[in-house]
Structure 1
Amino acid sequence: MIEKIWSGHSPLWLLLWPLSLLYGLITAVIRLSYRLGWRRSWRSPVPVVVVGNLTAGGNGKTPVVIWLVEQLTARGIRVGVVSRGYGGKAGHYPLLLSAGTTTAEAGDEPVLIYQRTGAAVAVSPRRAEAVQALIDQAQPQIIITDDGLQHYALCRDKEIVVVDGVRRFGNGWWLPAGPMRERAGRLRSVDAVIVNGGTAQPGEIAMSLSPGQAVNLKTGARCDASQLSHVVAMAGIGHPPRFFATLASLGVVTEKNVPLSDHYAPSAEAIQGLVGPGQTLLMTEKDAVKCRAFAEDNWWYLPVDAQLAAPDAEKLLAELQALVN
């Protein structure tokens, strides 16, 4: 239902329109308060790059963060990552992730980034505290914040916005009548716009998500996803239909598709109840970091990697590298 409202295909968005105006007013006042100096932003001594979005829901932001970390690390740059840690509740903040950190403590996306990249990752609702913790303990040369475009309490040296190229901006209205956190005009002030799928417009960087082989949660064994049989697909991400479409493009025939809410807290019983005898559970990597502790033999996940079009991608990386040199 919410997708129909946000896309403009349901007239119910008109009922939420007054709340959208209030949301837009509040966000505008917050941003103006920082511009006029009524509220102070903290500037890190280390360059900060924000990777965010203008809309609610999954746009492919986390794969972009992983891509940036891997690409910059390959260039010999020490990268740190900061996140709010949405979906997690730590005993203290800031929290620096370690091999034993759980998604219940740090949230699913920070744990995924840490496990995929090995980079230093810190979480805190106050991102400036997480940045300072990374500087004190990991000495990064550049810091990437996963989300936080609207978190103006932290100064940034570069802003990168990730856009869903298929859904774009829906009906264009602020939450809750539409999907917008900020209006599309905000793109004029950012440093790069990465478009995930669909058709990139002039000045935007085209991106696609490239799936790898399916990975068994318990054994680490790999195989082509199309080789799995009697598949039940599960996706607890911002936009589950993207995952199901990816499986279909790989030739995976699913017996059931199960969309779950983003940042859901799984239980062993609930996930085990999704599959019957002889069935195989196939999930996203974001789901896997939450389910690995109680995984069954027939549970698999599908990792994806961001692929950004050259030469725009190389230009972006050169700009980020210049911040360090």
Structure 2
Amino acid sequence: MEKFSTIGLPTNGRTAAWNALYATRMSQVEFTPADKQGFGAELSIGTLGPVKLAKLTMDRYCVERSKDHINDNRPRIYSLLLQAKGSSTIHHCGHESNLDAGDFVLVDTGLPHFFDTKDFSVTIMVRVLPSLLREYLPTPEQFSGLRLGHAVGLAGTLGAMVASLSEGVGRGISRDHEERVARHLLEMISMSYTAGFDISGESAILWRRRNDVISFIEDNLRDPELSSASIAQSLNLSPRYLRAVFSVSGEKISAFILRRRLEECARQMKNPAWNGHTLTEIAFSWGFNSAAHFTRCFRDKFGMAPREYRSAFTGAHN
């Protein structure tokens, strides 16, 4: 088992050093700790046959994997995250999920995501290639970004199994048995998700196509001309088929685009680094072209005006 820590890293530039280390061992992301100089972090990584298990222990932080971090030359990985301690919020595949201790979320590293912890946090990750995961969970796309609560179905049993294996990797399991144990783990993941979600009648092809559409939307969310028509034309899909692809989620494309833009605006408004930018600048940078329309939609979603929302989080008023 490999183990890494911020102990010994220079105080100045510690965040950059940790980001570089994490990129070489896991995925390219950008960590932003609450305390950029004094934060503590520890990462342990082990393998269990075809599965990688990683445990991240860290002071309060947020981490983003943007489209700029996604390198097509590196293999796409699905990562099942267990919130072992603490709580967090993750934005992924158009979903916002709040995780408490024992909850799971499935993350597709080939798509952007943003993860924000509330305090000290321990996260355990089960990382597996898509081709292998699909042997047990044929449509992982439909679960990406959704919270699997610890009290739902077999999730509690899965959580205990993942936590135990993360401690036991590298000792107590012979190489002859690693493959079998990994298969049992993947079976448990499959049963936990099929028991925890109603997947009857869903089309695997539609869910996979939907994720292609979501990826395109995320890449072009700042474009004010983004619409169902422009998406259909760019992806060479008929408007009717595009509506069918998105119908599996129960949300219209126009509503999805609006919601994602509002969520990104809200996220930037909570970030003190953006205090020097006006609310209109933030809104227009995310594809809005009317301040009045933005304010009205923001109030409908968050229950308060943008100015009030920003002031509540950062104290800024513009």
Category of TM-score, reference length = shorter chain = under 0.3
Relative contact order: is structure 1 or structure 2 higher (C-alpha 8 Å, sep ≥ 6)? 1
TM (normalized to structure 2)?
Answer: 0.26
Give 1 or 2: higher helix fraction.
2
TM (normalized to structure 1)?
Answer: 0.25
